[in-house]
Structure 1
Amino acid sequence: MSHVVAHTNIEVRYAETDQMGVVHHSNYIVWMELGRTQLIKDLGFSYAEMEKSGILAPVLDVQVSYKKPLTYGDNAIIKTWIDSYDGFKVIYGYSILNESGELSVTGSSSHVCVRKEDFRPIRMKKMFLDWHEAYEKAKKKQQPVGD
């Protein structure tokens, strides 16, 4: 497995637009979460199962850059990948495109896994060796050109 990219399709709903008729900026972060969940699912795992075991993966940081607006009725494609992973922190990368393939949004989010009861960080390799190995194989090896 190498540099896995999940694709998630979203049809823009009216409720996601603002008074200017474009997707409200906050919705892109929700879509990034959908993409992240799909990537994890594509790798054979589940956030819900991780949470049942008492581990959470809170967001440490989110970066979003808006390039071209999406509007009601557009189809958005969310591309999600593991930008970097060091066994402790994971940074997911995102590109959101319109159905013509034009870039609308780029972004990233940083996460660590913590114990639910005390929010103490854990190392994936110790508690979720299978996730750790999958992330090591799936993470981006170098900056892709035009990806």
Structure 2
Amino acid sequence: MHSRTKFRVRYAETDCMGIVHHSNYPIWYEMGRGDYVKMLGFNYREMEEQGIMTPLLNLNCSFGKPALYDDEIILRTKVILISAARITFSYTVKRIEPDGSETELGYGTTEHGFVDSKTFRPISIRKRMPELYEKIKQFT
């Protein structure tokens, strides 16, 4: 199961060539993660209120074709791996063409740890938020 995040490329996200700057992809991935968690009936604020943070451990971006100003983008986000202490998301970035077809522009992954917000020590999401863990686990 994956979330679908649709948006248009803003002018501020492009460089002088009119191409989306690579630094925007991790921001888009963050939007996708937020939508994924919301799709499951949770949100990051709830996790933070329970003292759980998800720092980034690894980031991978692959760029195939450029995204341009005003392109309509669809970002598909899914969890490909979850353990008690870590979670890995994958992302596919596509342009929605005028005829409704989609062109893949790039893809990536992020890996995050689950840590206590006060100590930054690893925690078990399976113990702290078992309902979220089980919901994600059933779709990976």
**TM-score grouping bracket, smaller chain normalisation:** over 0.9
Counterparts of 1:99-138 in structure 2, within 5 Å, are 99-100=96-97, 101-138=102-139
Match of 2:73 in 1: 76
| TM-score of the superposed pair, with normalisation by structure 2 | 0.94
Runs of 4+ in 1 over 2 A off after TM superposition: none
Identity %: 36
Match of 1:38 in 2: 35
Name the SS of the counterpart of 2:42 in structure 1: coil
Shift of 1:54: 1.4
Q: CA separation in 1, counterparts of 2:45 and 2:65?
A: 33
Q: After TM superposition, give the deviation of residue 64 of structure 1 in Å.
A: 0.3
The one-letter amino acid of 1:98's match is: R
What's the RMSD between the two structures over aligned residues?
Answer: 0.8
Instruction: State the Cα distance separating 1:87 from its structure 2 match.
Output: 2.3
After superposition, residues 57-72 of structure 1 pair within 5 angstroms as 57-72=54-69
Q: Distance in 2 between matches of 1:53 and 1:127?
A: 8
> Match for 2:32: what amino acid?
G
AA paired with 2:104?
L
CA-to-partner distance for each residue in 1:13-42, whole Å, 9 max, x for gaps?
Answer: 100000111001011110010001000000
Unaligned runs of 5+ in 1: 140-147
Partner of 1:22: 19
Q: How does 1:79-90 map to 2 (within 5 A)?
A: 79-90=76-87
Query: Match of 1:144?
Result: none
Unaligned runs of 5+ in 2: none
**Per-residue Cα deviation, 1:51-108 (whole angstroms, up to 9, x for no partner):** 1121111110100000110111101100000011122211000000000311111000
